[in-house]
Amino acid sequence: MPQVVTLSFPEPDIALLTLDDPSKGANILARPVLEEIAGHLEALEKRTDLAGLIFRSLKPGIFIAGADIREFAAAENITKEETIALATEGRRLFERLSRTPCVTVAAIDGICVGGGAELAVWCDRRLMTDSPKTQIGFPEVKLGLFPGWGGTVRAPRIVGLSNAVELITGGESIDAKAAVLMGLATDVVPTSKAQSPAAGADQLLQAAIGLVRGEKETGDYLRDRERWSKPITMSETELGFLGATGSAYITQMTKGQYPAPIAALNLMLEASQSDAKSAGVQEAEAFAELFGTPINRALINVFLLTDRNKKDTGVADRNLQPKKIMSVGVIGAGIMGSGITGATIKRELPVTLTDARPESLAGGMRKAVEEASYDKVAKGPTTERLLKFAPLVRAVVAESEFARCDLVIEAVVENEKVKRELYAKLEQHLANDAILASNTSAISIGRLASGLKHPERFCGIHFFNPVRKMPLVEVIRGPQSSDQTIATAVAFAKGLGKNPIVVEDGPGFLVNRLLFPYMNEALELLVSAVPIKAIDGAAKAFGMPMGPIMLYDVVGLDTALFAGAVMHEAFPERVLASPLLEAMVKAGRLGQKSKAGFFAYKEKSDRGEPDPAFDQLLAKFAKPGAKDAPKLDGKAITERLFLPMLLEATRVLEGDDIPF
């Protein structure tokens, strides 16, 4: 393995450890890297003339991206004692930073998470740049674990137990400003206006050196070392209140499916009353209880698959360069079209938007700009962001206006005839190398491309509703779609911050093929007198973000009806056509967009409420004797919902039953 950590002395009494792994795009704390750090510390600890030791990274946008997850995945059949020993070894290495004969500073520019954040909190001080990429956090709970190298020991003693509980059990990162307010970082270094990355790096280094000088003069770091080595002063009543509120919140967020956040909470509450040395022992022992469990291994597998997807170009030829997309066209300004437009302009790509109805075009344009301009802190669009993103959308009425677009995405009604007629008018206006894509959720890409002059430049790019929240995008390869087209579609989706997967043309593609057996079963339960609350409750308790009945209203019942018809035509033996769904669409109950579906919705609200009018409609489709049948418990409902989905997934993996 190449050298990752280099030692230099920007000033005679200032040691600088710089991390830069030449073989990777990010700095990872693999075992060889930890050994390099240990070797440098061993030499530096013998020095009595040093004022400070500073850690920094030369990776743009990344300080340290955590431990090496692949080492975790490879640790099969490891015993509890071996796990405790590994955790203890890592913690003892980082503990040395809090005992060195000089001030230790983590100069953070970019992502600092997991093991990187643990290294940082064992330093005496932390500086963070004002770059939007600079974040610090402990995401281990997302792998079914919690910090095991002293993160649960140091963080509570630095920022307070309540703040540490929120950081570690939530697993989300915070920016530099929030870190300073919390006390996790000492200061924000404004490098964003530096003339060059090198100038910004030098500015951060000089700020770190200045911090070392100041700490040596005041001796504050020594007083903090002493304070952070002791138990946290907190009354039994305060601990009990934090435990009760924290446990209730975690259970609400995780539905009881993930043990790591609760385990981290209990550990921090208990270990807070011990000194740091004893708390570290408790951390290692509790960490070993979670490491290697089925949930831990499953979540690590999800992480590795997601990581692999980030590197996947979508085609076999990894050297194929995708076409650079500079301008995007979107046809259809409804829920999906406006969502796609919003996601695109948020990445500062200009969009040409059209719709057959002028009122929809105006509304869709407004919604797209508002979504792109949403600010988490302000909890709504800000004037600054509105002024930034509004000019990026151009509303047009003529197909000829799309001549300058590199990529055009069609997001009109799910009707094959309408789409093909649109393509016939549109294709003649497109540039010679422009890509045309459909946001269809179920129509065969091969059939849609059959009338095109250039089917090789056509594919499916299927976003999910709501676009701003849903990270998944299906890129559907038609029979004649070229590798260049698919690679470009994948690169475009990744550029929007999405996670694209490439699937072959087939009924329901991948997501809807798996989803519709589940959705179909929800309707069967509904007409069998199982209450909506019980159906959606069972799905949410299993871990779904929302229940299937609510999902119908979000997706739109007309869309669901059409996609369901495609699935029924392809797999009539296992996908039933629902007369209830058809009746609801005929009655104009389309879900949230019509303010009535399975639920009723007030104006400007997406919160569904029980609707007596729906109950009357449902009664017409109730199965005879359903009300008198034994009631299903939550377990039975869960099995009814998810086993059909699981069975369909096995068919997909086998690669059979694809009639397109």
Q: What is the 3-state secondary structure (H, E, C) of 377-446?
A: CCCEECHHHHHHHHHHEEECCCHHHHHHCCEEEECCCCCHHHHHHHHHHHHHHCCCCCEEEECCCCCCHH
**CA atoms of 441 and 156, how far apart (whole Å):** 47
Give backbone dihedrals phi and psi of 477, rounded to 5 degrees, phi first.
-85, 120
The strand pair at 374-375 and 380-381 is best described as: antiparallel
Split at pLDDT 50, 70, 90, the class of 114 is very high
Range 244-254 average pLDDT: 89
Full 3-state SS string of 281-320:
HHHHHHHHHHCCCHHHHHHHHHHHHHHHHHHCCCCCCCCC
Query: Are residues 520 and 497 part of one domain?
Result: no
Contacts 24+ apart (CB under 8 A), 297-304: 297/73, 297/144, 298/144, 299/142, 299/143, 299/144, 300/69, 300/72, 300/73, 300/143, 300/144, 301/73, 303/69, 303/142, 303/143, 304/69, 304/70, 304/73
Residue of 147 and 574 predicted with greater confidence: 147
Domain end, chosen from 475, 504, 533, is at 504
- In-domain check, residue 659: no
Instruction: Count the Cβ atoms, other than its own, within 10 Å of residue 78.
Output: 15
For residues 410, 411, 415 and 416, what is the CA-based torsion angle, rounded to 10 degrees? 20
**CA atoms of 368 and 344, how far apart (whole Å):** 9
- In-domain check, residue 29: yes
**CA atoms of 190 and 197, how far apart (whole Å):** 12
R_g over Cα of the chain: 28
- In-domain check, residue 372: yes
pLDDT for 109:
97
For residues 306, 307, 308 and 312, what is the CA-based torsion angle, rounded to 10 degrees? 90
Residue 124 CB burial class (10 angstroms; 0-12, 13-18, ≥19): buried
Query: Are residues 614 and 548 part of one domain?
Result: yes
pLDDT at 338 over 70: yes
Residues in the chain: 660
**CA atoms of 533 and 156, how far apart (whole Å):** 40
pLDDT for 660:
46
pLDDT for 575:
77
Query: Are residues 334 and 214 part of one domain?
Result: no
> 598: closest CA among 577, 586, 581?
581
CA atoms within 13 A on the CB side of 192: 11
Please provide the DSSP assignment of 8-55 as one string: EEEETTEEEEEE--TTSSS--B-HHHHHHHHHHHHHHTT-SS--EEEE
Residue 5 CB burial class (10 angstroms; 0-12, 13-18, ≥19): buried
For residues 550, 551, 557 and 560, what is the CA-based torsion angle, rounded to 10 degrees? -150
What share of the chain has pLDDT > 90, as a percent?
A: 75
User: Going edge to edge, which strands form the sheet with 103-108?
Assistant: 5-11, 14-19, 52-57, 103-108, 125-129, 187-189
Residue 76 CB burial class (10 angstroms; 0-12, 13-18, ≥19): exposed
In what helix (H) or strand (E) does residue 587 lie, and over which residues does it extend? none
Query: Are residues 262 and 123 part of one domain?
Result: yes
Query: Are residues 68 and 202 part of one domain?
Result: yes
pLDDT at 555 over 90: no
As for how many domains the chain has, the answer is: 3
Query: Are residues 650 and 535 part of one domain?
Result: yes
Query: Are residues 390 and 364 part of one domain?
Result: yes
Query: Are residues 518 and 448 part of one domain?
Result: no
Q: What is the pLDDT of residues 578-613, one digit of tens each?
A: 899 999 999 999 999 899 999 999 887 888 899 999
pLDDT at 453 over 90: yes
- In-domain check, residue 104: yes
Residue 8 CB burial class (10 angstroms; 0-12, 13-18, ≥19): exposed
Split at pLDDT 50, 70, 90, the class of 658 is low
Query: Are residues 354 and 382 part of one domain?
Result: yes
Domain end, chosen from 245, 279, 299, is at 299
Range 153-169 average pLDDT: 96
Active-site residue among 40, 429, 454, 462?
A: 462
- In-domain check, residue 558: yes
pLDDT for 483:
96
- In-domain check, residue 315: no
Which CATH number fits the domain that encloses residue 184? 3.90.226.10
- C-beta separation of 200 from 194 below 8 A: yes
pLDDT for 657:
55
pLDDT for 469:
87
User: What contacts 22, CB < 8 A, 6 or more positions away?
Assistant: 2, 4
Range 553-567 average pLDDT: 86
Angle CA 185–187–192, to nearest 5? 115
Which CATH number fits the domain that encloses residue 335? 3.40.50.720
Instruction: Count the Cβ atoms, other than its own, within 10 Å of residue 643.
Output: 13
> 405: closest CA among 463, 459, 326?
326
Range 191-198 average pLDDT: 86
- C-beta separation of 168 from 138 below 8 A: yes
Give backbone dihedrals phi and psi of 185, rounded to 5 degrees, phi first.
-115, 150
Query: Are residues 527 and 381 part of one domain?
Result: no
Q: Is 40 a catalytic residue?
A: no
The structure tokens listed for 275 are 């000194």
Residue type, 109: D
Query: Are residues 526 and 471 part of one domain?
Result: no
pLDDT at 361 over 60: yes
Query: Are residues 127 and 82 part of one domain?
Result: yes
- C-beta separation of 314 from 499 below 8 A: no
Residue-number span of the structural domain to which 90 is assigned: 5-299
pLDDT at 238 over 70: yes
Domain end, chosen from 280, 299, 318, is at 299
Three-class SS of residue 199? Answer: helix
Distance of CA 106 to the CA centre of its chain: 27
Residue type, 594: S
Q: What is the pLDDT of residues 116-146, one digit of tens each?
A: 999 999 999 999 999 999 999 999 999 999 9
- C-beta separation of 119 from 97 below 8 A: yes
| Largest interatomic CA distance in the chain | 88
CA atoms within 13 A on the CB side of 156: 33
Three-class SS of residue 63? Answer: strand
**Mean pLDDT, rounded, of the chain:** 92
Q: What is the pLDDT of residues 23-82, one digit of tens each?
A: 888 999 999 999 999 999 999 999 999 999 999 999 999 999 999 988 887 877 889 999
User: What contacts 396, CB < 8 A, 6 or more positions away?
Assistant: 352, 353, 354, 402
Residue of 214 and 624 predicted with greater confidence: 214
pLDDT at 256 over 90: no
Which CATH number fits the domain that encloses residue 618? 1.10.1040.50
Sign of CA pseudo-dihedral 637, 643, 648, 653? positive
- In-domain check, residue 370: yes
pLDDT for 656:
59
pLDDT for 577:
81
pLDDT for 625:
81
- In-domain check, residue 113: yes
CA atoms within 13 A on the CB side of 490: 24
